[in-house]
Amino acid sequence: MFAIAPLQDRFGRAIRYLRLSVTDRCDLRCNYCLPKGFNGYEEPANWLSFDEMTRLVGIFAQAGVSRVRLTGGEPLLRHNLPELAARISALPGVEDLSLSTNATQLVKHAVALKAAGVKRINVSLDSLDKGCINTITGRDSFDAIMAGIMAGKAAGFDPIKLNMVAMRGVNEHEIRRMVAFCLENDFILRLIEAMPMGSTGRNAQYLDLNPVREQLLAEFGLIPEVAELGGGPARYWQTADGSGRVGFITPISQHFCATCNRVRLAVDGTLYMCLGQEEKFEFAPLLRGGASDAEILAALKFAIELKPERHEFKEQPGKIIRFMSQTGG
């Protein structure tokens, strides 16, 4: 029996979207995300089990959350992830299950994930230049990423969104090429402004995407997209014939906090209300302490009340010291 009133924070925003981190570990070291040599990972004993995740997501769904995205770290490093995906996709109320990945492991898992109910994938791809990708990710990863993307396409994921963190002096010269590549291959490109999360995020070469957008609109004849694409923060533009789309995620230059509909659950059961603030609530003690579903649902409603009005990335860029992978992407 679903709750009558959906989750709503004190600013009137309905919370419909949960980003579920299944691990904080990653096989890459993207230089805007994790520093080289980082080893401050959560102990596996503190990870939520699949049973605990499924139970908690079911309570979220009972409260009106209909979209779930599996994230990390790199979620495909979590053993037997398709099993968890199948369990979550079968939960009453979950209408859309998606995955964020760096695609290095996707060749091995694409078919199983699709069969398990994952409908859409987002892949991090910051360049089409092998040397640039290998520099950004800290390893020889380009071929594995590209193979994974194509395996996802062959498996039938639709849409496939490629996430490009646009950085001044690093890959900004490749944006036009990336747009053309995505239009040619029926992918959706999402350009993202770097966020000052942790020391690595603050050291990223921030690029304001508003001038970039105006250039692309003129060059590719893009027009505003009306339809919603995934319920996330991107604002989309499409080609005149509707065959291609480009999204822009601008948390710094043009934030979207007023319409934020999401929260993030870390692998240890900590619920973060905002990427750019510290408000959080720990669910592991309830899950492991014998709390009933009704008690957890009450705690969830309390936690949502902690969600702040907006982040302060621009005003206080040094505020958040945790890295993105620790929050859940």
List binding-site positions for S-adenosyl-L-methionine: 32, 73, 124, 195
Binding residues for [4Fe-4S] cluster: 26, 30, 33, 257, 260, 274
What is d(CA 283, CA 303) in angstroms, rounded to the nearest whole number?
A: 10
User: How many CA within 13 A on the CB side of residue 261?
Assistant: 16
Which of these, 186, 301, 197, lies nearest to 246 by C-alpha position? 186
- State the alpha helices, DSSP H only, in the chain: 50-62, 81-89, 106-116, 130-137, 142-155, 175-185, 198-203, 209-220, 284-287, 293-304, 324-327
What is d(CA 9, CA 258) in angstroms, rounded to the nearest whole number?
A: 11
Binding residues for GTP: 19, 69, 100, 161, 262-264
Binding residues: 19, 26, 30, 32-33, 69, 73, 100, 124, 161, 195, 257, 260, 262-264, 274
CB 264 within 8 A of CB 299: no
Rounded to 5 degrees, φ, ψ at 311 are -80, 175
Q: What Å distances lie between residue 287 and 48, 134, 292, 297, CA to CA?
A: 9, 40, 8, 11
